[in-house]
């Protein structure tokens, strides 16, 4: 029962005459909406990357400060006042552009997130081993 496309002049003429044609060129309107959507998407992507980099960086800093505190007498306050402004500067400089996401932004976020995940995983693993085997526990 294959439908027959050939030899349908009346049907084709009817579809031609009743077919819709846009009254004006819609390209400009569509492209304006596309550009707005693209800009909005870029802003959200950049905000997501910035949040990721900030969170990842803060986790690294927190764990770093905690580690240094275990092996030296430098106070948390002193460490924080030294490293936090530096961290802020790196973030500010990297995310300074308002345009599309740059490779530096992507790299910094990836790097911080990766290190943060590794640090957190090692911390959790260490905590689990301490509970499981009791080694190094101060409660025993």
Partner 1 sequence: MEPTGQKQEEQETIRRILAGDTAQFAVFVGRYQRPVYALVHRIAGNSDDAEELTQDSFMKAFSALGRFRATSSFSTWLFRIAYNTAISATRRTRRELRGIDERRLASVADEEADALFASHGEERIEALNRAVAQLTAEEQALLHLFYYEAQPVGACAEISGLSEANVKVRLHRIRKKLYIYMLEEDGPESRK
CB of 36 to partner 1, least distance (A): 10
Our CA angle for 113, 103, 88, nearest 5°, is 55
Task: Find the part of the chain contacting partner 1 (CB under 8 A) among 19-27, 54-62, 79-87, 108-116.
Answer: 19-27
Report the SS3 class of residue 102. Answer: coil
Task: Find the part of the chain contacting partner 1 (CB under 8 A) among 15-23, 67-75, 118-126, 128-136.
Answer: 15-23
CA distance 8 to 105: 60
The residue (of 12 and 118) whose beta carbon lies closer to partner 1 is 12
> Residue 65: which of 84, 50, 51 has the closest Cα?
84
Contact positions with partner 1 (CB under 8 A) in 38-67: 38
CB of 24 to partner 1, least distance (A): 8
> Residue 67: which of 110, 126, 16, 8 has the closest Cα?
126
* Site track for partner 1 across 97-116, x = CB under 8 A: ---x----------------
Under the binding rule (CB under 8 A), the answer on residue 7 touching partner 1 is yes
CB of 106 to partner 1, least distance (A): 13
> Residue 122: which of 130, 111, 134 has the closest Cα?
130
CA distance 111 to 52: 10
Residues of this chain that interact with partner 1 (CB under 8 A) are: 1-5, 7-23, 25-27, 29-31, 33-35, 37-38, 100
């Amino acid at each position: 029962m294959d439908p027959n496309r050939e030899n349908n002049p009346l049907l084709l003429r009817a579809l031609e005459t009743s077919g819709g044609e846009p009254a004006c060129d819609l390209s400009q309107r569509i492209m304006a909406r596309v550009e707005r959507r693209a800009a909005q998407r870029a802003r959200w992507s950049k905000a997501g990357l910035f949040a990721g980099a900030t969170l990842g960086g803060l986790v690294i800093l927190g764990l770093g400060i905690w580690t240094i505190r275990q092996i030296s007498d430098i106070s948390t306050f002193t460490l924080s006042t030294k490293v936090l402004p530096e961290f802020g500067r790196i973030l500010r400089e990297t995310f300074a552009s308002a345009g599309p996401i740059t490779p530096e932004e992507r790299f910094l976020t990836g790097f911080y997130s990766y290190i943060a995940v590794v640090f957190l995983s090692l911390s959790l693993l260490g905590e689990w081993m301490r509970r499981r085997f009791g080694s190094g526990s101060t409660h025993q």
